[in-house]
Structures are given as C-alpha cells and as structure tokens.
Amino acid sequence: MIDECFKVCGLERDEIIRRLEPFFDKGITFGVEENYLDAKITMASLSLKPIEFQILKTDIYSQFEDNVYSAVDIQLKDLVAKLLKLNCRVLAAAESLTGGMLSSELCSVSGISENFYEGIVCYNSRSKHERLGVSKDTLADYGAVSKETACEMVKGLIKGSVDIGVATTGLAGPTADEGKPVGLVYIAVGAGDFIPVFEQHFSGTREDIRRKTVNMAFFYLVRYLKGNILRL
C-alpha cells in the first residue's frame, strides 16, 4: 500500500474536494481534514505501482500549486518556526483583529524565542499610531482596515534585531465598520521596501474569521521565507 499526504492552505474543504474529483477513479483514495483554511490531504492506493502513483501525484499537486506549503505532515506554526531558524530571521507581529492569536500560536513552539521578538496587540486605531507609527493621515484617509495601514504596521515593527514583520487588520464582525464588510482582512508580511499586502474576504463567525486570518498569515510567512511569495 502507498500512503502519502501533503498540506495546503487557503481553500475551503468543498473547493479541495472539487479539485480532487478528476482523480477519484484513478486508483487513489483521498482523505481531507480542513480547519480554518488549513488542510491535510491524504492519498492512498492499493493497486497503483509506485511510478504510477508518483505520476498521478504530480498531476494532483498541479491542482493546488499555489496553495501547497508542505509535502509532509507539519503544522503551519512549526514550519514558520523552522524557516525562521533556517533563514536566521527575527520576526515581530502586529495584530489587530487577531488579538494575539498569532503570537500565542508561535509561542507554543519550543525554542521560538530565538526567532520571535515580540507580538503587539494594537487593536485600537490610536494604538496603531502611538505604538507602531501608523500615520494619522493614513488612518483618516484609508481607515484602520486597509492595505495602507497593514503595510505601515509592518514598517513600525522593523527595528533593532527585528528583520521581518507580519501584521493583521480586519473586520471580524458581527457588525460592519468604516463602510467595509465583515470578513474583510488585510495581511502584510515583509520588511524594507518589499512588504506585500494581501486582501482576503472571509466568511463565518467572528471566531472563524480570526482563526482563518492567523492561518493565512502563517501561510504568507512560509511563502515569504521560502522566497516564492511573488507568485501569489
């Protein structure tokens, strides 16, 4: 029996199943475990030869190319910690809607203190300005939930030994604000002149939106640390 798995992020379970459907009659059985956009896909076969399995696996991967983050079963937070260490990078986080969730997840990884400097919960707009230096003009012109604010949040983190930052800002609900819809989220990651900001539109409860934001922030960190974030 051949049994393998890979990890993807950014897709709901229904979308993952839809992409796997063309392979349902190819001699492979699938299992999908998805939590807040982070998913483990298992593939098993009793009938295929190893070379046949590998050929099909390549085709399956192509269905998820931009969402795959690991060919082995590893948690996003653990992979982020591993890549930070391998790249000798020091991370800081600025969290608005996630309220410290991202930092808490990272701090559950043993040894992360070598590569994680601090997490700042800047929930209030005033905090974004006073703690991170987000300009009052940016907050007034674009709002706390904007790509401009997310970018400036990251810039405010880069100091001393910190050489990479991640920031989250958005509306977790249940009510809209600033004329923007619930589920609108901006995630920024990077340093210096290269701080890509990603806009997301999440659905679900307040808890769902916050946890999806954390997982996607980890995913973008993985892509950034692997050097292939430009493809997103």
The predicted structure's pLDDT at residue 230? 55
Contact in structure between 186 and 147 (CB atoms under 8 Å): yes
According to DSSP, residue 36 is labeled: T
Helix H or strand E encompassing 47? none
Tokens of 45: 């076969």
| pLDDT tens digits, 100-134 | 999 999 999 999 999 999 999 999 999 999 999 99
d(CA 60, CA 21): 10
Please count the other Cβ atoms lying within 10 Å of the Cβ belonging to residue 107. 14
Q: Is the pLDDT score of 231 beyond 80?
A: no
d(CA 127, CA 15): 38
The predicted structure's pLDDT at residue 228? 80
Q: Is the pLDDT score of 232 beyond 50?
A: no
Q: Would you say the C-alpha torsion 44, 45, 49, 52 has a positive or negative sign?
A: negative
Q: Which pTM value belongs to this model?
A: 0.96
Per-residue pLDDT, averaged over 192-219, amounts to 97
Give 175-179 contacts, CB < 8 A, sequence gap 24+.
177/145, 178/143, 178/144, 178/145
The predicted structure's pLDDT at residue 97? 98
Contact in structure between 183 and 193 (CB atoms under 8 Å): no
| pLDDT tens digits, 139-151 | 999 999 999 999 9
Pairing of the two strands 91-95 and 164-170: parallel
**Runs of H (alpha helix) within the chain:** 13-20, 50-62, 76-86, 101-107, 125-132, 136-142, 147-157, 206-226
DSSP bridge partners of 15: none
d(CA 97, CA 213): 9
Average pLDDT, the chain: 96
| pLDDT tens digits, 26-69 | 999 999 999 999 999 999 999 999 999 999 999 999 999 899 99
Q: Is the pLDDT score of 229 beyond 80?
A: no
